[in-house]
Amino acid sequence: MNPDIRKPIIGITCGDLNGIGIEVIIKSLSDSRVLDFMVPVVFANNKSLQFYRKGLPEFPINFASVTDLNKLNPKQVNLVNCWEEEVNITPGELTDIGGKYALLSLEKAVEALKNKQIDGLVTAPIHKKNIQSPNFQFSGHTPYLQSAFGNIENLMLLVAENLRMALVTEHITIQEVTQYITKDKIKQKLNILNESLQKDFGIIKPRIAVLALNPHAGDDGLIGKEEIEVIKPAIKESKNQMLVFGPYSADAFFARGQHEKFDGVLAMYHDQGLIPFKSLAFGEGVNYTAGLPIVRTSPDHGTAFDIAGKNKADSSSFTAALFECVRIIYARKGYTDMRLNPLKKISARMFANAVDERLYENEG
C-alpha cells in the first residue's frame, strides 16, 4: 500500500457504459462511510459519470479528478479520466462504444495495478461480445487478468459470507465441459482453492467438497464414468496435501445443506456452481479471482441491460465486492507478516476475524 495512505487504494473500472456498472458504482460510493476503509479510484470519464448521476438524485456524490495517482486524496472519491472525447451513451443497448470504453478503463486500471499505484481492483460488468478486439480476445475478466499477470493459473471463486464456490471450468459450452475435466486440472484447481482459503480467508486447515459431474455422481458408472476415472482419483491424490472430500451429487449436496459443513466447494462447470450460489447469496455475492499475485473482485451479476439507466440496479453485490477486496488485501498482508514472524501468537483465522470486525464495526 502507498506508505503515505494507510487505507488500501482500490481501483474501480466502469464496465460497459450502457450497462448498470456506473450506476452501482455511484450508489456504492455515495455512502461516505466507504471512505473510512478505502481510497476509491474510478477509471472512467467525468462526463460519463455525470450522465448517470443526473438520474440518481438521491445518491449525492462528488468525484475529484486526478492526473497523478501518487497524489490521491484519501478523503474523496478519486477519478482518473481515461478519455476526453464525447461518447454517445445509450443505456440498455449493446454497442461497440460500450465495449471500447470498458476496455480502455480496464487497461488503465491494470496498468496502475502493475505499477503498484493501486492495491486492489474491483471490476464493473462487461459484455463478453462487444469488448472483443485485437487487445481483448478473452472470454471475460479472469482470463484477461491471467494473461496480464504472467499467465499464472487462477481460479474463479464466488464468495458470500461462509459460502465459497470455485469452478474447474468457466465460460465454455456444456458440450466442451467434459474435455476440460481432467485429473490434473481438478488437482490444480484444488491446490489454488486450498491455498486461497488459507492465505486470503484465514482458514488454517480448510475442508473442501468436490461436486460430481454427472447426475447422482454417476451411479457407479451407470450415468457416466468421469467420477470413477477422473474425479475420485484426483481427490485421492490431493488428500495428501489437504482435507478434500467427495464427489458429491450436486443436487442433493445443496438440498441437504451439506455446503455448510465445508469451507469451500469445487464445482465442475459454471452453472453447476453459480445457480446454487446465486440462490443462496441473496444478491450479495462476490466474484474473486484467486491465485493471482493481485487482488481482484467484482459483483456476481452482469451488465443487466434490461434495467440500465432506470435507477433499478441493486448495488449490494458491488458494495460487497469493494469490501471483500479490502478484506483480502489485509488478510494477505497478515498471512505474509505471520510468516516473517513465526513466533507471533495470532492465527490466520483470528487475523481474518479481526479484519472483518474492523471493516464492519461502524456498519449501521
Based on the domain organization, do 250 and 300 belong to the same domain? no
Interatomic CA distance for residues 86 and 48, integer angstroms: 9
Residue from 4, 5, 6, 69 nearest 42 by CA:
69
Helix axes 316-340, 348-360, angle to 10 degrees: 140
Q: Say whether both 339 and 205 belong to one domain.
A: no
pLDDT (tens place) for every residue of the chain, 364 residues total = 454 457 999 999 999 999 999 999 999 999 999 999 999 999 999 999 999 999 999 999 989 999 999 999 999 999 999 999 999 999 999 999 999 999 999 999 999 999 999 999 999 999 989 999 998 998 889 889 999 998 888 999 999 988 999 999 988 899 999 999 999 999 999 999 999 999 999 999 999 999 999 999 878 888 889 999 999 999 999 999 999 999 999 989 998 989 999 999 999 999 999 999 999 988 789 999 999 999 999 998 999 999 999 999 999 999 999 999 999 999 998 876 666 555 554 455 555 555 555 555 544 4
Asked if 261 and 207 count as a contact pair (C-beta separation under 8 A), the reply is yes
CA distance 12 to 237: 40
Q: What angle do CA 44, 312, 12 make, to 5 degrees?
A: 25
Same structural domain, 274 and 313: no
φ, ψ dihedrals at 249, nearest 5°: -65, 125
Enter the C-alpha cell of residue 158. Answer: 464466488
Q: Do 303 and 189 fall into the same domain?
A: no
Q: What is the pLDDT of residue 152?
A: 87
Domain count, the chain: 2
Residues ≥6 apart with Cβ < 8 Å to 6: none
- Are 128 and 92 in contact by the 8 Å Cβ rule? The answer is no
Note the pLDDT of residue 345: 46
> What is the residue whose three cell numbers read 447426475?
215
Going by the DSSP 8-state scheme, the letter that residue 8 receives in this structure is P
Across 165-197, b (16+ Cβ under 10 Å) vs e yields bbbbbbeeeeeebbeebebebbbbbbbbbbbbb
Whether 146 and 32 share a structural domain: yes
- Which residues, in sequence order, are CB contacts of 359 under 8 Å at separation 6+? 37, 323, 326, 327
Cis peptide before 247 (omega within 30 of 0): yes
Confirm if 196 and 266 have CB atoms less than 8 A apart: no
Q: Indicate whether 139 and 241 sit together in one domain.
A: no
Contact 315, 24 (CB under 8 A): yes
Q: Which of 258, 284, 310 is the last residue of a domain?
A: 284
Residues facing 78 on adjacent strands: 41, 64
In DSSP notation, 51-68 reads HHHTT-TTS---EEE-S-
Is 262 within 8 Å of 208 (Cβ atoms)?
Answer: yes
Residues 127 and 170 both lie in one domain? no
**356: Cα within 13 Å, side-chain hemisphere:** 11
Are 81 and 136 in a shared domain?
yes
- The three cell numbers locating residue 306: 434490461
From 236, 268, 284, the end of a domain falls on 284
Give the pTM.
0.86
Which residues lie below 8 Å from residue 112, measured CB to CB, with a gap of 6+?
11, 41, 43, 69, 80, 118
Residue 239 sits in the same domain as residue 317: no
Q: C-alpha cell of 11?
A: 481501483
| 243-248, strands of its sheet edge to edge | 63-65, 77-81, 39-44, 9-13, 120-123, 296-299, 286-290, 155-160, 163-167, 264-267, 207-211, 243-248
* pLDDT value of position 287: 94
pLDDT attached to residue 354: 54
Residue 356 shares a structural domain with residue 323: yes
Domain that holds residue 74: 1-151+292-364
Please tell me whether residues 120 and 190 are part of one structural domain.
no
At residue 356, the pLDDT reads 59
Could you tell me which residues are beta bridge partners of residue 41? 11, 78
Residues 228 and 349 in one domain: no
The distance of Cα 151 from the centroid of its chain, to the nearest Å, equals 18
pLDDT of 284: 85
CATH number, domain containing residue 277: 3.40.718.10
Of 255, 284, 313, the position where a domain reaches its end is: 284
